[in-house]
Structure 1
Amino acid sequence: MDAYYNCLGCMNRQVRVLTMDGQQHEGTIVKVDRNNVYLKKESNGRVQTSAFYPGYGYGNQILTLSLFTLLAIALI
């Protein structure tokens, strides 16, 4: 539950997310629900994605991360 509230507090802000498997992701949190955080990733001018979240327009691709896999989140 702490991850949920931490992500809500970082909505629409640039963050760095560390997951339990050691992966790091940087981007802007665009949505949070009780199970997932949706991160708009940009790297070297390119958007990278693992999922598309409808409602943000075609071409805006979003990385979906399970809140249960988050280890840390920091504003950047």
Structure 2
Amino acid sequence: MSFYQSGQPATVIYQADPAVVQHLHGVRESLHHSCKPYLNHKVSVQTIDGQVHEGTIAGMDNKHMYLMVAGSTDMVRGYYNPYYKPYPGPGYPYPYPYPYPGNAILPLVLFELLAISLI
């Protein structure tokens, strides 16, 4: 990241209301604690923008839910798994070069989630 120093003080364009920041921290913490017991469960997730994703909760941290979604080889939905390799055929020493062939991990920001339901 680069910074431009003009010698003048920076003009603040936007600053979040401290009450909003505190509320978002609470929402994020609540979602984290609510979803963590459902790791490796299939869920349907709706974002505040109305997008719906179905997949398996692959992991969580304090900012993101990582949803494993079924990818396709034709990339119709735009998910891309750089590790996807089709099954090479009989005689290959391992079943797959990657443990989840065709799947991709979709990181979702916790405070942008509207609804999460088990499927």
TM-score (norm 2): 0.51
Q: Does the Cα contact within 8 Å between 2:70 and 2:104 map onto a contact in 1?
A: no
Aligned twin of 2:50: 22
Helix, strand or coil at the partner of 1:62: strand
Gaps spanning 5+ residues in structure 1: where? 53-57
Give the residue type in structure 2 aligned to 1:23: Q
| Distance across 2 between alignment mates of 1:75 and 1:25 | 12
Helix, strand or coil at the partner of 1:3: helix
Q: How many percent of aligned residue pairs carry the same amino acid?
A: 43
Helix, strand or coil at the partner of 2:104: coil
Q: Pick the aligned partner of 1:8 from 27, 36, 53.
A: 36
| Distance across 1 between alignment mates of 2:34 and 2:46 | 13
Helix, strand or coil at the partner of 1:6: helix
Aligned twin of 2:116: 73
| Distance across 2 between alignment mates of 1:3 and 1:72 | 10
- Structure with greater Cα Rg: 2
Helix, strand or coil at the partner of 1:5: helix
Higher relative contact order (CA 8 A, sep 6+): 1
Number of residue pairs the alignment of both structures matches: 69
Calculate the aligned-residue CA RMSD, in Å: 2.3
Cα distance per residue 1:9-68 (max 9 Å; x no partner):
21000000011011100000111000000000016xx27637x6xxxxx33520000001
Aligned twin of 1:37: 65
Q: Which has the higher helix share?
A: 2
